[in-house]
Amino acid sequence: MQLRKTDLFTFIHKAIRSIIYDAASNLQSIDFADINESGKLLASLQSQLELLHEHAVHEDNIVFPEIQINEPEMVKELNQEHKILEEKLNQVKMQIEKTDKVIDKDKRLEYGAELNAIFNDFAANYLAHMNHEEATVLEASFKYLSDEELVAIRTRIQTKIPPERYKIWLHWMLKSLNNSELISLLGGMKSGAPPQVFENVVGVAQSVLKNENWSKIKSQLMI
Ligand SMILES: [Fe+2]
């Protein structure tokens, strides 16, 4: 029986979905008349958008070229979706800047409501795009690439991310996985990663997971 190969998309897409749900939920309920409060949210939204942009760049530069030869049409279509998403992401960024600059409360409320609508459009497209990738390029990666090649791609992505940034990704990823996924991910790291790396990951897990849940996972991992 062939074991399931390394999956380059599911965990990171879960992290991205959490980022989008979190941003959308905050954005629709924030009081834009409160400059301080909404200013903080706009800054955090900017950082969240950077993560989404970074993910698309990794797919464009590192993942898609590996599938290009076997599935040129598929990759062309997904690249096209990335271009559209990048344009929409830039519209969100511009609206964030416009909203952040304005002091007048009525104008701020107006621009904030526009920002919410622009973000909803971006988020809907991004979510549909990830569904599309999971139905196409994820399967293609299993079909055309060996597990060694998939692991090498994952390593190339990981080495591009500075440690502090990697911690932010881990934060979103670990809080987005279910228990069996967490046990499989952390169990793999426990046996395969350098002890210091594993300890750092455990530290992030401990800080993002609910105590009760973390205790369950810890006992299963025997740590
Ligand atoms: Fe993508």
pLDDT confidence band for 222 (50 / 70 / 90): confident
Q: Which two tokens stand for residue 14?
A: 């879960």
Can you give the pLDDT at residue 197? 86
pTM surpassing 0.75? Answer: yes
Q: What pLDDT band is residue 193 in, cutting at 50, 70 and 90? A: confident
Cα 183 to ligand 1 centroid, rounded to whole Å: 26
What CATH code is assigned to 10-161?
1.20.120.520
* Residue 81 CA to ligand 1 centre (angstroms): 8
pLDDT at residue 1, as a whole number: 41
pLDDT of residue 185: 92
Expressed in angstroms and rounded, the spacing between residue 130 Cα and the centre of ligand 1 is: 6
Residue 3: its pLDDT value, please?
60
Q: Where are the domains of the chain?
A: 10-161, 177-223
What crossing angle do the helices spanning 35-58 and 72-101 adopt, rounded to 10°?
160
What does the chain come to in residues?
Answer: 223
Q: Name the CA dihedral angle for 77, 78, 79, 83, rounded to a multiple of 10 degrees.
A: 100
pLDDT of residue 4: 79
Per residue in 54-102, pLDDT tens?
999 999 999 999 999 999 999 999 999 999 999 999 999 999 999 999 9
How many angstroms separate the alpha carbon of residue 3 from the centre of ligand 1? Answer: 25
Ligand 1 mean position, distance from CA 147 (Å): 21
The radius of gyration computed from the CA coordinates of the chain, to the nearest angstrom, equals 19
Whole-number pLDDT of residue 86:
97
Please tell me the distance between residue 129's alpha carbon and the centre of ligand 1 in angstroms.
7
The alpha carbon of 21 and the centre of ligand 1 are apart by a number of angstroms equal to 17
Question: Looking at per-residue confidence, does 3 or 104 come out higher?
Answer: 104
Average pLDDT, the chain: 95
CA of 192 to the centre of ligand 1 (A): 28
User: How many whole angstroms from 126 Cα to the centroid of ligand 1?
Assistant: 8
Dist. CA 63 → ligand 1 center (Å): 10
Q: How far is the CA of 88 from the centre of ligand 1 (A)?
A: 14
Expressed in angstroms and rounded, the spacing between residue 28 Cα and the centre of ligand 1 is 25
Tell me which of 43-47, 61-65, 162-166, 173-177 is least confident. Answer: 162-166
Ligand 1 centroid to Cα of residue 59, in Å, is 6
Percent of the chain past pLDDT 70, that is, above it, reads 99
Question: Following DSSP, what letter does each residue of the chain receive, concatenated?
Answer: -PPPPP-SSHHHHHHHHHHHHHHHHHHHH--TT-HHHHHHHHHHHHHHHHHHHHHHHHIIIIIHHHHHTT-HHHHHHHHHHHHHHHHHHHHHHHHHHHHHH---HHHHHHHHHHHHHHHHHHHHHHHHHHHHHHHTHHHHHHHHS-HHHHHHHHHHHHHHS-HHHHHHHHHHHHTTS-HHHHHHHHHHHHHHS-HHHHHHHHHHHHHHS-HHHHHHHHHHHT-
Segment 177-200 mean pLDDT: 90
